Every structure is written in C-alpha cells, then in structure tokens.
Amino acid sequence: MLPSPSGNWTVMVGIGGEYKPEFAGSNNGRFAPVPIFSVRRAGSVDQFRGPRDSTSIALLDIGHFRAGPAFKYVASRKADKYAELTGLGNVDAAYELGGFVEYYPVDWLRLRSELRQGMGGHTGTVADVSADVIVPLIQRLTISAGPRFTWKSTNATAPYFGVDAVQALASGLPTYNARGGAHSVGFGSQISYRINPQWEVHAYVEYEKLLGDAADSPLVKLRGSSNQTTVGLGASYSFDFRIR
Amino acid sequence: MRVKVIVILACAIACVGLGAAAAFETRASRLQAIKTVGIISAIGEEISLTRAGLTGLDNAAQTASISAWGLDELIVQQATKLLGGRFHVQPVSYRRAAFAAIRDSAVAPVNLLRSDPFKELVRSDVTPQGLDAYIVITRARSKLGNGRNVEGVGFAEYRTLLADYGLIHALYEVRIIEGKSFDVIEKRAAAPLDNTGTVRIAGPSGPIEATFEDAGSSERLRAAIANLIVRSLPLTLGDMHLIEGQ
C-alpha cells in the first residue's frame, strides 16, 4: 500500500470499467475503461455524483443549492465499426456546453437538472432531469437510486436516429424523420463502499428506456433496442500530500 | 512537426516553472523582510451545530455564542508564542465582530475577482498601523455530507441508517497581510490533522463520543476545541513558512 501521510491536498487515482451500449439505440454492449482522477483540498467531501452527470463546476454554492457550467463529450459514431450502422454514415463527436442546477431539500435527496447545447456532431439542445435518494447505511457504505428523464430537440435527435433518403438506400432501412421531444426515462442506482480512508470501491447501473421518435427509429426498432443499460464499477485510492 | 510540438510543450512547462519559482521567490523575499507583526483572530465568537446525512426536514444549523470561552485570546497567545522566535509580535486592537462578519461570496468567481475584504479591514480597523505584516486568522468553510456547509468552530452530527457520528471542528484560514501595501502575501486554510477519521472535513476536526449535554460539558467541549487549535496552529504556520521545523 502506498504511504498516506497527512497533508493539505488529496489526490484520488483509480480505474473503472463501464459496460454500455455500443451506440445510442444499440442492442449490444461494449466494455470501456474509465480513468478516475481528482485533486481536492484534504478532507473535502467527495461530493455525490451520478454516473450520468456531466462534468461540471459549482460556481454558485450555498450548501444545499449549487449551480454552474456543465460540459459533456459525446463520442463520435463510426458507421464502419458496427454492422447495424452500415450505410448510415459517421456522426462526429459532439461537445455539449451548458449549465446545471442542483438542489438538496435535505442532505439525502438530490434534485439535478442540466441544460446543454450541442456543437459538432449534433447542434441540438439536451435537457436532463434526475432525482437521487442518497442513503448512507453507515458512513462508509452509501447507496443511492432515483429516476431520470431526458428531453432532446430535433437537432440533437436526428443525427443519431433519423434516416434520410441516401442513408435509406445505403442501409436498407426506411427513411425516417426523427424529431425532438421526450427522449428517455430511466432509473439509476449506485453503491459505494469506503474500505478505509484511502480505498473506495463503487458500482452502478443505469437503465434508460428510449421514448418518442428515438424509440420509433427504424435503427432502434429493426436493428437495436429501446432498452439501454449501462453497468459500471471502479476502485480508487486517495492519498494526501502537503504543499508548503 | 513532432519536434515542434515537443519544443512548444517544453517552453510552456519552462514558463510555468519559472513563473512559479518567481512567485515563490517573491513571497519568500517578502516574508524575509518582515520584522514586526500583529495578530488578529476572529473565529471564536460562536459555535455551530450542524446535522447532515439522514436528517429530517428541520435541519437548519444552530449557533450559540461562545465568546466567553476566549478562543481568540488563546489563538493570539499561541500564535504569539510560535511566531515570537522569529518576529517581534506587537499587540493590536481591532473590532473582532467586524472581522467575524465577513463571509465569502457564494458565487466563487466573485471571491477571485473582488479585492480581499480583510485587506480593507486591516487598513481601516486595526491599530497600530505601520507594522510590517498582520497575521489574520478567520473562519474557513467545508462541506459536510452532500448539501451542508460548516464553518469556524462547531459540533457536527452525521447520521446514517445504522449509526451516528459526531465530530468537532475548528476550521480557520490564515492570511499574511503586508503592513504597508496591505497586499495578501499568502492565504492558507488549516489542513486536517490526520486522514484517519471516519467522517472527514477540510480542516482540523476530530471524532467525539460524548453528547455534551451533561453538567460540565461546556468546559470539556471548549477543551477539545482548544486542543484542535493548539495542535493545528504550528502545522499551519509551518506550512506558511512563518515558523521552522514543523
């Protein structure tokens, strides 16, 4: 075990893995490694974070209410990587920029909402709403769970679920005009256990049911699934160091 | 192309390194020039009771006055003892309540952009003026649980389904304010005393078993808080290069 002297900064390093759909609407999953790294003031609480949360910074923080900018990276979709996408062409990586608000009416209930505008692979608007009940069984063991809802505009939906005439010819799928609206509802749960002040392990599952035009897309109906499940786990090691 | 990128990266790293070294050098030389200091402490006027974790709806933090405990006098006394070997420490007078009333803005960028409010207070409120530097010790803040902030001196309860945890805290930060220009030479929050606690917060704290509800509990609570301060002050001042050998 690495030394863990007392100090004024804490570094957390770790590795996780995530088994998630190969692409939005896919029926198959793939495993991807997830690095874990953070630096924070020693003793700072590792604030509750949901697996679906965007990267965000709380510029406004009055304890039970936090708000600030949020960013999410949406990986590109390469048509040649998966047979189901043959003929649909690539979708570039998207960068979603926006903001979040988070409210804790009590310490064990988090309500969070994000609104982001896409750039690159899609140019639409995405809104996420979630609630998490956070129950510390003992201080070291915490479970959380709650519902999720996502709304997407037409420009955020069409690149991934629409099929134009050219794509229809190349893919064999019928043409489909995917419009925006309620995109998905879901449920997520996670468990984290702090073995000691240094080691922490966690696991989570996120289920998402595609709705509306995303669920009705021929890509989903004929070659994929509207049921999207992500399972992840990870372990991290925290150590303090002192800067003088 | 690759060589060009490596050269640019190396130049960037060198610039950052030189900048950091220059800043450190400036701070070190400014500290070396200090001969006389005054100490201001304003953390000990009140104690808070905060509940986090599995709490009910009525869980607002409560506060009580503890000015009779004389914690600020203790801090000034301890700091004077620690700094006395290197500096000439002069007693100063100030309105403690004015220092204790200053709060960080909830909007983080405001704290970065606005002038440090303690600078102005030292300039306008402290006598005598003209010392080389003023050491200002005020409340610091930390998160407890997910949605609660704790600051200064306090007693906190973290409730879970199967167990409750209690801790006391003395969260403070130290500023070195130059006595002529009133620039903040350095500002640092006191670090935790160790990293073994079940419930951690970002500053000196310790677990407690007692409920502090019986006779004599006030004195025991004061002694426990004072112990945190006495143990952490040498570390914090050492981290700031104000005293040696910590």
pLDDT for the residue numbered A238: 85
pLDDT value, residue A2: 38
* pLDDT tier for residue A244 given thresholds of 50, 70 and 90: low
Confirm if A241 and A9 have CB atoms less than 8 A apart.
Answer: yes
Residue ranges covered by each domain of chain B:
1-32, 36-239
- Give residue A92's pLDDT band: very low, low, confident or very high (50, 70, 90): very high
Q: Do A60 and B143 touch (CB under 8 A)?
A: no
The per-residue pLDDT for range A166-212, each reduced to its tens digit, is 999 999 999 999 999 999 999 999 999 988 878 999 999 999 999 99
Distance from CA of A22 to the nearest CA of B (A): 33
Q: Pairing between strand B88-90 and B36-42?
A: parallel
DSSP reduced 3-state for B131 = coil
Residue B4 has pLDDT above 70, yes or no: no
Report the alpha-carbon distance of residue B197 to residue B165 in Å, rounded: 10
Q: Which residue from B143, B192, B238 is facing A42, i.e. has the nearest CB? A: B192
Percent of chain B with pLDDT over 90: 43
A244 CB within 8 Å of a chain B CB: yes
As its CATH architecture, domain B36-239 has 3-Layer(aba) Sandwich (3.40)
* Highest mean pLDDT: which range of A184-198, A202-216, B91-105, B202-216: A202-216
pLDDT 10s digits, B17-68: 655 555 555 777 888 889 999 999 999 889 998 888 888 877 777 888 998 9
Question: CA-to-CA distance for A105 and B50, rounded, in angstroms?
Answer: 15
The model's confidence at residue A159, banded by pLDDT at 50, 70 and 90, is: very high
User: Distance (Å, rounded) from C-alpha B95 to C-alpha A123?
Assistant: 56
Residue with the two structure tokens 């069984």: A137
Instruction: Give the 3-state secondary structure of residue A122.
Output: coil
Distances (CA, A) of B174 to B90, B191, B243: 17, 11, 14
At A183, list the tokens: 């995109």
Domains for chain A: give ranges and CATH numbers.
7-243 (2.40.160)
Q: How confident is the model at residue B157 (pLDDT cuts 50, 70, 90)?
A: confident
Question: Looking at the partner chain, which of B55, B161, B239 has a beta carbon nearest the beta carbon of A242?
Answer: B239
Q: Residue A5: which pLDDT band, with cuts at 50, 70 and 90?
A: very low
Do the Cβ atoms of B200 and A197 come within 8 Å?
yes
Please give the share of chain A, as a percent, with pLDDT higher than 70.
93
DSSP label at A54?
P
Q: How far apart are CA A13 and CA A187, in angstroms?
A: 28
In total, chain A counts a number of residues equal to 244
Torsion angle of the four alpha carbons A167, A171, A172, A174, in this order, in degrees rounded to the nearest 10: -40
Percent of chain A exceeding pLDDT 90 equals 74
Q: Which residues contact A226 (CB under 8 A, 6 or more apart)?
A: A25, A209, A210, A211, A214, A215, A220
State whether B191 and A61 contact (CB < 8 Å): no
More confident residue, B219 or A117: A117
CB contact residues (below 8 A), chain B span 187-216, against chain A: 188-189, 191-203, 205
* pLDDT value at A3 more than 60: no
Higher pLDDT among residues B245 and A80, named by residue = A80
Q: In the prediction, which pLDDT does A8 show? A: 64
Which residues partner with B48 through β-bridges? B63, B154
The answer on pLDDT for B192 being more than 80 is: yes
CA B234/CA A33 separation, integer angstroms: 43
Is the CB of A41 inside 8 Å of chain B's CB atoms? yes
Alpha helix positions (H), chain B: 2-32, 71-83, 96-101, 108-113, 117-125, 217-239
Q: Of A35-49, A180-194, B83-97, which range is least confident?
A: A35-49
Question: What confidence tens digit (pLDDT) does each residue in A102-141 have?
Answer: 999 998 999 999 999 999 999 999 999 999 999 999 878 9
Mean pLDDT of chain B: 85
Length of chain B, please? 246
Q: Check if A43 contacts B (Cβ < 8 Å).
A: yes
How many Å apart are CA B104 and CA B11, to the nearest integer? Answer: 37
The Cα–Cα gap between B226 and A30 comes to 56
Using the beta-carbon criterion (under 8 Å), do A45 and B59 form an inter-chain contact? no
List, in order, residues 6 or more apart from A204 with CB less than 8 Å away.
Answer: A51, A188, A189, A190, A191, A230, A231, A232, A233
A64 part of contact set with chain B, CB < 8 Å: yes
Residue tagged 């350095």 (tokens): B186
Cβ distance of B147 and A104 shorter than 8 Å: yes
Kindly tell me the number of DSSP H helices and DSSP E strands found in chain A: 4, 12
* Of the partner residues B146, B194, B196, the one whose CB lies closest to the CB of residue A134: B146
Nearest to B144 among A45, A105, A136 (CB): A45
- Nearest chain B alpha carbon to A195: B198
Please, which residues have CB within 8 angstroms of residue B183's CB and are 6 or more apart in sequence?
B119, B177
| pLDDT mean across residues, chain A | 91
B29 part of contact set with chain A, CB < 8 Å: no
Q: Is the ipTM of this complex over 0.85?
A: no
